[in-house]
Amino acid sequence: MAGTMVLTEDEALDLVAFLVTAARTQVDEAAEYGPLRLLMAAGRLAEFIAERVTPETRAFLMGALKQMPELAVRTSDPAGYVAALDTMCRAVGEHLVTHFGLDRKAP
Partner 1 sequence: MTNPVLEAIRTRRIARALTAEPIARVDFEEVLKAARWAPSAGNRRLHHFIAIQDPLTLKLLRMVTPGMFQRPVAIVVICIDRAKAMSFGMRPNAKGLYVDVGTAAQTMLLAAYSLGLGSGVVTSFSQAAVSAVLNLPDGLSPEMFVCLGHAAPTQPPGMPTRGHVTWQSLTQWERFPKSPENAPPGPPASAVATSSRP
Q: What is the dihedral of CA 29, 70, 6, 101, to 10 degrees?
A: 110
Query: 78-97: which residues touch partner 1 (CB under 8 A)?
Result: none
d(CA 46, CA 60): 9
Answer yes or no whether residue 20 interacts with partner 1 by CB under 8 A: yes
Query: 35-64: which residues touch partner 1 (CB under 8 A)?
Result: 36-37, 40
Residue ranges of E strands in 1-70: none
The answer to whether 45 touches 61, Cβ cutoff 8 Å, is no
Closer CB to partner 1, 30 or 96, in the complex: 30
The residue from 3, 4, 5, 24 that contacts partner 1 (CB under 8 A) is: 24
Residue 8 sits at φ, ψ, to 5 deg, of -85, 165
CB of residue 101 to partner 1, shortest distance in Å: 35
Binding site for partner 1 (CB under 8 A): 13-14, 17-18, 20-22, 24-25, 29-30, 33, 36-37, 40, 69-73, 75-77
